Structure formats: structure tokens, C-alpha cells
């Protein structure tokens, strides 16, 4: 194992907190142009990620179905040392449209800023690169997932994405909420619930808010769990689509976004950044300081 592989899993490099929020999405073609990937296979309602070898020091692992033998997609970690990846020099992960890291990149998730910018650990924003909604556009768009501390002092991560079928899609907001002990007796490990918040506000000045947009008992549409003990040497995480997500009512673009944000949450979790303490510090920096 070389130093690059070690640094990839030792913890992600964080970006600087910025004064202004980025747009909900933007055209990625300005940085790197790639052809639109071929259509991808639908995501099942039950997914698991597994390392190929133990210990988990390899750059590539696999998104599978219910078992590790049912490989669906290859996932590759990116340390940000070169610009050949869709992420450029942003540390993160790429999801490949097939079972090999040599297959075309389908989507990516990573830091908001390039590695060369800074190494601050309190940036609230993560970027998710998805195929353009426009057929034949030949580029990717950038979605943003933002960390926040919810009213009940738990870590939460919010994003918006189009839901529904082609031609009848609407943009809705969702929030990953960190599980608390005792919240769900069926949950064996640790992780996050994904809650459906509803249609995106037409008021650009209205920020995402857990308390304003959705009650605590809102519809749970996905469950992300971290494995415990020795199983974590092979098993990366479990992801279960639920309710409207399981029935495919929300569509496959939504499912792709859920997969990519789940991968990003795993990355933040591995780096010790998926908790209310770190996010709260980031919110403090964001409100009190402008970092170039």
C-alpha cells in the first residue's frame, strides 16, 4: 500500500468555510468536460458497500445489492493529487457506471474547494456531481449537500434534487439526520435517516430548516447504517430505501443522489466530520469569519 492510498482513507482534506452559499447547482463543464455516461441500471431498495480485501486500505470498493456477491457499481476514492478525475483536485469519491474502476464515471462526491485552496476542516458544503438533466448535454451539474446542526442538536445534512419521472419532475428537499440511540430499535449500528422535507421553496432567501419544513416524524425514505466491530473491516455501510423511495415514486435520479450523498456521509464519518460538534464549529466560522 502506498502513501497515497493511506492518505485517502486516513481522513479527507477539508475545505475552507466561505461567506456566501454556493448555488443549488451549476454547470461543471467549465472545469472539465466529459461525455454523458450511458444509462445506468436501476438501484435496488437494499444496497451494501463492501471492500474487496481486508483491511480496508484499497482505493476501490463496491456498491452491491443485498449480498457482497451482487456487485453493481465500483466506487473509487480520490485523494485529490491530480486533475484526471471528475473531481479535479477535490478529495472525494467517484461512482463508476459498472463493476470496474475503468468504467466511465457516473457521478462523484467530494469537497467544495480544490485541495490547493486550504485544509480547513469546517466547511459545511459538499458537492455532488451528477449527469446533466438535458439529454446529450455532455457534461455534469453540481448539487450541494450542506451540513447543519438540527434543533435537537444532532448532525444533519440537507440537499435538494429532482424527484419523479422524466417530464414530470419537481425539485424537493431532503435531510439526512443522525440517528440517536433508542430512536429506532431495528437499527443495529450507527448512521442516518433520510427525511423527505417537501418541495423546494420558491423564495431564494428562505434557507433549509429542519423545523420549518418538516415535522420530526416526517416520512423516512432511506436508512444509512455503519457496521459495527469486525464486520466493518469488509462491510462499508448498508443503505435501505424506504417508503416512497422503495416504491420508486421518487425516481432513479433521486436514488442516484441518495447513493452519492450516502457515500459522502461515509467519507465525512471516516474523517470524524459527520457530527454536531464539527458542524457547529463550521457554522460559527461561517457566521463570524470570511475565509478567502
Collect all residues with Cβ–Cβ distance below 8 Å to 19 and sequence separation of at least 6: 286, 290, 291
Q: Which three cell numbers stand for residue 181?
A: 440511540
Say what the pLDDT of residue 134 is.
76
How far is CA 127 from each of CA 157, 223, 269, rounded to the nearest angstrom?
12, 21, 16
Q: Which three cell numbers stand for residue 256?
A: 442516484
Instruction: Give CA 101 to chain center in angstroms.
Output: 19
- In this prediction the pTM is 0.79
The radius of gyration of the chain from alpha carbons, rounded to an integer in Å, stands at 18
Helix (H) or strand (E) holding 195, with range, is strand 190-199
Count Cβ atoms below 10 Å from residue 150 Cβ, excluding itself.
Answer: 18
Q: Could you tell me whether strands 140-149 and 125-131 are parallel, antiparallel, or unpaired per DSSP bridges?
A: antiparallel
The answer to whether 127 touches 143, Cβ cutoff 8 Å, is: yes
β partners of residue 241: 222
Say what the pLDDT of residue 232 is.
82
CA angle 257, 258, 259 (to 5 degrees): 90
The answer to whether 273 touches 282, Cβ cutoff 8 Å, is: no
Q: How far apart are CA 25 and CA 125, in angstroms?
A: 12
Per-residue pLDDT of the chain (292 residues; tens, 9 = 90+): 444 444 434 443 333 333 344 444 444 333 333 444 457 889 999 999 999 876 555 789 999 999 999 999 999 998 767 666 778 778 899 999 999 989 999 999 998 876 544 445 678 899 999 998 876 656 899 999 999 999 888 999 999 999 997 678 999 999 999 998 765 555 555 899 999 998 866 554 444 444 444 445 579 999 999 998 888 889 999 999 999 999 989 999 999 999 999 999 999 999 899 999 889 888 888 777 654 4
Say what the pLDDT of residue 198 is.
86
Instruction: Give CA 80 to chain center in angstroms.
Output: 17
Q: How far apart are CA 248 and CA 270, in angstroms?
A: 30
The answer to whether 113 touches 144, Cβ cutoff 8 Å, is: no
For residue 17, the enclosing domain spans 3-288
Say what the pLDDT of residue 30 is.
35
**What total of structural domains would you count in the chain?**
1
Collect all residues with Cβ–Cβ distance below 8 Å to 271 and sequence separation of at least 6: 11, 12, 14
Amino acid at each position: 500500500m502506498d502513501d497515497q492510498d493511506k492518505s485517502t482513507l486516513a481522513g479527507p482534506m477539508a475545505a475552507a468555510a466561505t461567506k456566501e452559499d454556493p448555488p443549488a447547482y451549476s454547470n461543471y463543464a467549465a472545469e472539465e468536460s466529459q461525455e454523458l455516461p450511458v444509462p445506468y441500471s436501476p438501484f435496488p431498495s437494499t444496497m451494501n458497500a463492501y471492500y474487496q480485501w481486508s483491511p480496508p486500505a484499497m482505493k476501490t470498493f463496491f456498491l452491491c445489492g443485498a449480498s457482497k456477491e451482487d456487485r453493481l457499481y465500483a466506487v473509487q476514492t480520490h485523494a485529490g493529487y491530480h486533475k484526471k478525475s471528475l473531481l479535479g483536485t477535490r478529495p472525494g469519491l467517484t461512482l463508476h457506471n459498472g463493476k470496474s474502476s475503468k468504467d466511465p464515471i457516473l457521478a462523484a462526491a467530494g469537497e467544495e474547494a480544490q485541495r490547493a485552496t486550504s485544509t480547513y476542516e469546517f466547511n459545511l458544503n459538499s458537492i455532488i456531481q451528477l449527469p446533466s438533466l438535458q439529454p446529450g448535454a455532455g457534461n455534469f451539474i453540481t448539487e450541494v449537500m450542506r451540513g447543519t446542526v438540527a434543533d435537537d442538536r444532532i448532525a444533519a445534512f440537507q440537499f435538494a434534487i429532482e424527484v419523479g419521472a422524466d417530464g414530470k419532475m419537481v425539485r424537493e428537499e431532503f435531510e439526512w439526520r443522525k440517528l440517536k440511540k433508542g430512536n429506532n430499535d431495528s437499527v443495529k449500528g450507527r448512521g442516518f435517516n433520510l427525511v423527505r422535507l417537501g418541495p423546494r421553496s420558491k423564495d431564494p432567501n428562505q434557507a433549509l430548516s429542519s423545523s420549518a419544513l418538516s415535522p420530526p416524524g416526517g416520512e423516512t425514505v432511506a436508512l444509512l447504517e455503519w457496521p459495527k466491530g469486525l464486520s466493518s473491516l469488509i462491510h462499508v455501510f448498508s443503505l435501505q430505501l424506504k417508503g416512497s423511495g422503495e416504491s420508486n415514486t421518487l425516481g432513479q435520479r433521486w436514488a442516484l443522489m441518495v447513493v452519492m450523498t450516502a457515500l459522502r456521509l461515509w467519507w465525512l464519518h471516516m474523517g470524524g466530520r459527520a457530527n454536531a460538534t464539527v458542524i457547529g464549529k463550521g457554522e460559527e466560522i461561517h457566521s463570524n469569519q470570511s475565509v478567502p
